[in-house]
Amino acid sequence: MLQTRVRTGELDKLILLVRRIIITPATNEDEIIGWEPLINNSTVWARKKDYEGREVAIADRVTFIQKTVFTVRYRNDLDTTMRVIYRTRVYAIISITENESDRDRFTNITCELIDTEFYT
C-alpha cells in the first residue's frame, strides 16, 4: 500500500477560500470592492501548520505576521490573489505548491496571517 506523508484524517480544519471582487471605474484602475467565496467547493478541509510569528512595524503600526501552511486535497483553481479564511482570520496566499511526495493528491497553500483584517 502506498504510504504518504499526509493522511486524509489530518485534514481536520475547515477553511474558506475567497477571491477578489474587482470593478474597473472610469479611471481604468482596478478597484477591489470586496471578497466572495469561490464558486466550486469554497469550503474545504485542510491541515494547518503554523510557524513562528514576528512583530513588524507597518505604516507606524505594530503588526503581527505569522507564516502558515494549509494542506488541502489537490486543486488547480487557486492563485495568489485569493485569500484563506480560518475562524474569521484572514490569510494572504503567498505561494501554492504541489505536495511532491503525494503525486498530485494534495496542495500546499503557504499564507501569511493578516493581523488587521477579519472576515464576517
Task: Name the residue among 103, 120, 111, 102 with its Cα closest to residue 4.
Answer: 102
Domains identified in the chain and CATH numbers = 10-118 (2.40.10.270)
pLDDT tens, residue by residue, 66-117: 899 999 998 888 999 999 999 989 999 999 998 766 667 889 999 998 877 7
pTM over 0.85: no
User: Per residue in 76-109, is it b (16+ CB within 10 Å) or e — as a string?
Assistant: eebeeebbbbbeeebbebeebeebeebeeebbbb
Predicted pLDDT of residue 81: 92
